[in-house]
Amino acid sequence: MADAPGCCHPCATCLLCLYSCHWITAEKEKRKGLRTTKCDCSWFLFLFCVFLFTLVWLYFAIIILNDFHNFNEFIFKQRKLWLDWSLVLLIATAVLITYSAVLLVLALCLQLCGQPLKLHWLHKTLLILTAVVVAAAFTGLGIKWAEEWRSAHISLQATGPFLHIGIVGGMTLLAWPLASFIYHTRNTGLKVFLLLVYCAVMIALYLAPLGITSPCIMEENQLPPKPALVGHRGAPMLAPENTLMSLHKAVDCDVQVFETDVMVSADGVPFLMHDEELTRTTNVQSVFPERAALNSTAFNWTDLQQLDAGSWFLERRPFPTVQSLSAGDRYQATEQRIPSLEQALEAAKESNISIMFDLRPENHSDYQSFVNATLGVILQSGIPLQQVLWLPDGFREQVKHQAPGVQQVYGRKRLQNEKEPLLHVNLPYQDMSSEEIRQYRQDNISVNLYVVNQPWLFSVLWCSGVTSVTTNACQVLKEMKHPIWLLPSSTYLMIWTVADCASFLAIVWAFLLLKKCSQRRRPVESETDVLLTKINSLMQE
């Protein structure tokens, strides 16, 4: 197998060293008469598949970043260890994708240089290990976090058109090493097989946009209004969650609703707290070490007021944005205490925003007394009842009777034979399709989806027509004046056509050019083989 034009011997030697882990010059490799065997081709195919497998996992890793704070909270609940596991995920994924990508590039360069693909056993072992690690990651995702598969499906609505162009471009570049291999190999059956597979894949890719749908493929004048923002526990990227500081930061982000969680103390005072235990968001382990593992409702209000509800935010840094806080914000965070529902309602009334909350824990034996205490605080607060959005399903009829002005928000879709029409629904963003969102909008049903942090996801839901979204990143979504992208169908059709035509022409050019180069090299290769044969004969004599 002769060297391709423009491939110098030092470069070929370096490539061989990195890929085969043997320091042997390209000339010696050539004199040995080594060729790429079927086994070597199988390992190259395995390398290509591992690269694609890892690339898909990288895509998933980027998509699930929207929900990764939930995973961090889950790990803390199980192990009492706080760490931003998204960094671990991204670093590990970057290492795996970089390794497989470098090996693939080396293999393609060796093929273009006409050198044998002798993958070293160490690389083979590491590739198998990479495949096992990625397979384990996908398996764990499917078992413990199955809803993320639906997140990936939604993400294709945001990335589908661009993924299509990227994949077409990648497969077009693959035509060069494929043509080089076909013109070098003497196995006719393998040539035909590879060409048929490649052609089938390219035809499928050229026609793929027929199956690509996205709510953001629309005319500019059809774009629905920007969804309202609901602060998830306030503005948790800018202040400790479920505190008055977090509420005020959310107001600064132009949120229309403060979403929180309410529990009731042992002496009947409703207060803001998400977790059943106080260990994650307070210093209860320092103040009440012997009672730290108790349920939040086991503490009376006097005890709760002794806890620091803000310093943990600076120590654990649940979000990267904590590092950029001003000195004033850092000091204010350390002064935060657990707020009562009465204080939160007063702040919401002053800021003219609504408040939406869950009442936890719903399986508590005294849950009805929790409802009564919460209703009593709401009615005594003087806040306009239409600014209160009630989420709990327990004793909902009692709430409707005692506080008919409170807006009832349901955590489910509407039923076929609904007794009274739903006006507000609050669901995970994975649970509603774009078509359902449009239908609810046409029927004047307010749809709030949670938790939406990434601009790509916000853009898809904006184009779909969702009423509002619950978010941790209100400071980011506030600045979005337009979806990330919006394409009229005619523009997308033009981009699709141009990309496919350019790809087809590039592939034809690659095969014709390499065929011409191959024909020029054949006489030289023949003369070289004869000369090498004579030299070997003389040396043997």
Mind listing the pLDDT tens digit for each residue in 320-334?
999 999 999 999 999
CA 132, CA 50: separation in Å to the nearest integer? 10
Residue 524 has pLDDT above 70, yes or no: no
Residue 335: alpha-carbon gap to chain centroid: 34
List residues bridging with 264 in a β-sheet: 270
Q: Is the peptide bond between 451 and the residue preceding it cis, with omega within 30 degrees of 0?
A: yes
Question: Is domain 228-409 given the CATH code 3.20.20.190 in the classification?
Answer: yes
Q: Closest Cα partner for 60 from 162, 151, 165, 158?
A: 151
Instruction: Looking at 113-146, list the stretches that DSSP marks H as alpha helix, in order from N- to C-terminal side.
Output: 121-144
pLDDT for the residue 24:
55
For residue 211, the surrounding DSSP H or E stretch is: none
Residues 231/253, Cβ–Cβ less than 8 Å: yes
Q: What is the mean pLDDT of the chain?
A: 90
CA 123, CA 43: separation in Å to the nearest integer? 10
Residue 429: both structure tokens together: 């963003």
Report phi then psi at 37, rounded to 5.
-90, 175
CA 81, CA 335: separation in Å to the nearest integer? 24
Buried b (16+ CB within 10 A) or exposed e, 167-195: ebeebbebbbbbbbbbbbeeeeeeeeebe
DSSP string for residues in 266-330 = TTS-EEE-SSSSSTTTS-HHHHSGGGTTS-GGGS-HHHHTTS-SSHHHHHH-SSGGGGG--HHHH
Residues 159/60, Cβ–Cβ less than 8 Å: no
For residue 16, the surrounding DSSP H or E stretch is: helix 9-20
Q: How many CB atoms lie within 10 A of CB 32?
A: 10
Which residue carries 């399903």 as its tokens? 393
pLDDT for the residue 183:
84
Residue 385 has pLDDT above 70, yes or no: yes
CA 225, CA 209: separation in Å to the nearest integer? 27
Split at pLDDT 50, 70, 90, the class of 3 is very low
Comparing 129-133, 145-149, 282-286, the range with the smallest average pLDDT is: 145-149
Q: Closest Cα partner for 426 from 409, 414, 443, 442?
A: 409
Per residue in 424-470, pLDDT tens? 999 999 999 999 999 999 999 999 999 999 999 999 999 999 999 99
Mean per-residue pLDDT for 485-491?
Answer: 94
Residue 412 has pLDDT above 50, yes or no: yes
Say which amino acid occupies 146. Answer: A
**Best mean pLDDT range from 106-115, 220-229, 410-419:** 220-229
Which residue carries 């196995």 as its tokens? 187
Residue 295 has pLDDT above 90, yes or no: yes
Q: Closest Cα partner for 212 from 133, 155, 268, 262?
A: 155
Residue 443: alpha-carbon gap to chain centroid: 31
Residue 12 has pLDDT above 80, yes or no: no
pLDDT for the residue 518:
74
Residue 528 has pLDDT above 60, yes or no: no
What is the crossing angle of helices 175-184 and 489-540, to 10°? 30
Name residues whose C-beta falls within 8 Å of residue 499's C-beta, 6 or more positions apart in sequence. 164, 165, 168, 169
List residues bridging with 272 in a β-sheet: 262
pLDDT for the residue 31:
45
Residues 33/2, Cβ–Cβ less than 8 Å: no
> What percentage of the chain exceeds 70 in pLDDT?
92
Q: If DSSP codes are grouped into helix, strand and coil, which group holds residue 426?
A: strand
Residue 309 has pLDDT above 60, yes or no: yes
CA 157, CA 434: separation in Å to the nearest integer? 10
Residue 155: both structure tokens together: 């993400």
Name the residue with higher pLDDT: 46 or 416: 46
Residue 532 has pLDDT above 60, yes or no: no
CA 459, CA 472: separation in Å to the nearest integer? 16
Split at pLDDT 50, 70, 90, the class of 534 is low
Q: Closest Cα partner for 213 from 169, 257, 165, 160?
A: 160
CA 510, CA 286: separation in Å to the nearest integer? 69
Q: What is the C-alpha radius of gyration for the chain, rounded to an integer number of angstroms?
A: 31
Mean per-residue pLDDT for 56-79?
Answer: 93
pLDDT for the residue 437:
97
Determine the straight-line distance between the first and last CA of the chain, rounded to whole angstroms. 26
> What percentage of the chain exceeds 90 in pLDDT?
76
Residue 541 has pLDDT above 80, yes or no: no
Q: If DSSP codes are grouped into helix, strand and coil, which group holds residue 146?
A: coil
Per residue in 145-200, pLDDT tens? 889 999 999 999 999 999 999 999 999 999 998 998 888 777 888 889 999 999 99
Residue 348 has pLDDT above 70, yes or no: yes
Which residue carries 């059809």 as its tokens? 222
pLDDT for the residue 11:
74
